[in-house]
């Protein structure tokens, strides 16, 4: 849930409280990771017909980014830190995976490189946040209370994941002959979403610490979002046929 609401929450917090908020989140996410990773590995082992090594490595490679600090750097409006300490290490892992896959023809090598890149991003990002934000002594809530406070963010994240992922799964189940065409359209949609991400991140980091300024900025952000959406939708409608060729 921190990926959905963490950036805006951090932006609205006083600077002195941000370090404690980060510690609270990483504490809860590490515990969730310890619970979820084994379950994911078991499910993947079954779906991969017993390939335990691939299931375990795949689970870790795709779950570790949930421990990253990209939302925190977005919230404090520090794109340079987001780039240097999160994006670049993870991207190096992806590039390494492509090279390793080409050289070895092994999916395990691809996943291992991705995992190393994601781990590097997590370690570097969290270390930077811990060192640059004062560790003031505040009582941390229990894990249960922390997760309960995140319930709306979790619902938001889960809903987003479902409406993005379910259509592709449904097409694969019910109309497999159309999967290739739909996958291409889905890829274009994801590229378009990626192009819109900097705008979203800017407005997430624009949430003011002063509550009195919140309404005025929310109005401006809403108007800007409407304008950007119209331009984005028109671009997708006009350019998708050209791009798909």
At 72-125, the pLDDT tens digits run: 999 999 989 999 999 999 999 999 999 999 999 999 999 999 999 999 999 999
Sign of the torsion formed by the C-alpha atoms of 164, 106, 62 and 98: negative
Looking at residue 205, the DSSP 8-state letter turns out to be T
pLDDT at 120: 97
Contacts of 176 (CB under 8 A, 6+ apart): none
For residues 76 and 161, the model is more confident at 76
Contacts of 196 (CB under 8 A, 6+ apart): 228, 232
Sign of the torsion formed by the C-alpha atoms of 126, 128, 129 and 135: positive
Please tell me the distance from the alpha carbon of residue 210 to that of residue 67, in angstroms, as a whole number: 29
pLDDT at 127: 94
Q: What is the pTM of this model?
A: 0.77
By the 8 A CB rule, do 74 and 5 touch? no
Please tell me the distance from the alpha carbon of residue 165 to that of residue 154, in angstroms, as a whole number: 16
Greatest CA separation found in the chain? 59
The mean predicted confidence, pLDDT, of the chain is 88
**Band of pLDDT at residue 181, cut at 50, 70 and 90:** confident
* Residue 234 burial (C-beta neighbours within 10 Å; 0-12, 13-18, 19+): exposed
Please tell me the distance from the alpha carbon of residue 183 to that of residue 198, in angstroms, as a whole number: 24
> pLDDT tens across 25-45, in order?
998 899 889 999 999 999 989
**Band of pLDDT at residue 167, cut at 50, 70 and 90:** confident
By the 8 A CB rule, do 86 and 122 touch? no
Please tell me the distance from the alpha carbon of residue 244 to that of residue 241, in angstroms, as a whole number: 5
What the block records as the tokens of 107 is 């999916």
pLDDT at residue 243 is higher than 80: no
Q: Which residue from 125, 137, 134 is spatially nearest to 16, judged by alpha carbons?
A: 134
């Amino acid at each position: 849930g921190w990926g959905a609401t963490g950036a805006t929450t951090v932006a609205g917090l006083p600077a002195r409280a941000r370090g404690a908020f980060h510690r609270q989140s990483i504490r809860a996410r590490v515990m969730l990771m310890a619970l979820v990773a084994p379950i994911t590995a078991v499910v993947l082992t079954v779906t991969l017909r017993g390939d335990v090594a691939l299931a375990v490595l795949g689970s870790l490679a795709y779950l570790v980014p949930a421990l990253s600090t990209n939302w925190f750097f977005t919230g404090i409006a520090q794109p340079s830190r987001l780039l240097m300490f999160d994006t670049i290490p993870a991207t190096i892992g992806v590039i390494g995976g492509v090279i390793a896959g080409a050289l070895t023809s092994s999916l395990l090598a691809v996943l291992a490189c991705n995992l190393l890149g994601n781990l590097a991003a997590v370690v570097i990002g969290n270390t930077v946040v811990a060192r640059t934000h004062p560790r003031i002594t505040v009582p941390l809530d229990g894990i249960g209370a922390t997760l309960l406070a995140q319930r709306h963010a979790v619902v938001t994240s889960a809903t987003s994941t479902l409406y993005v992922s379910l259509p592709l799964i449904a097409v694969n189940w019910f109309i497999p002959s159309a999967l290739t065409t739909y996958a291409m359209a889905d890829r274009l949609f994801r590229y378009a979403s990626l192009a819109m991400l900097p705008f979203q991140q800017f407005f997430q980091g624009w949430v003011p610490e002063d509550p009195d300024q919140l309404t005025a900025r929310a109005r401006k952000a809403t108007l800007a979002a409407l304008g950007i959406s119209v331009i984005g939708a028109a671009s997708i409608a006009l350019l998708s046929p050209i791009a798909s060729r």
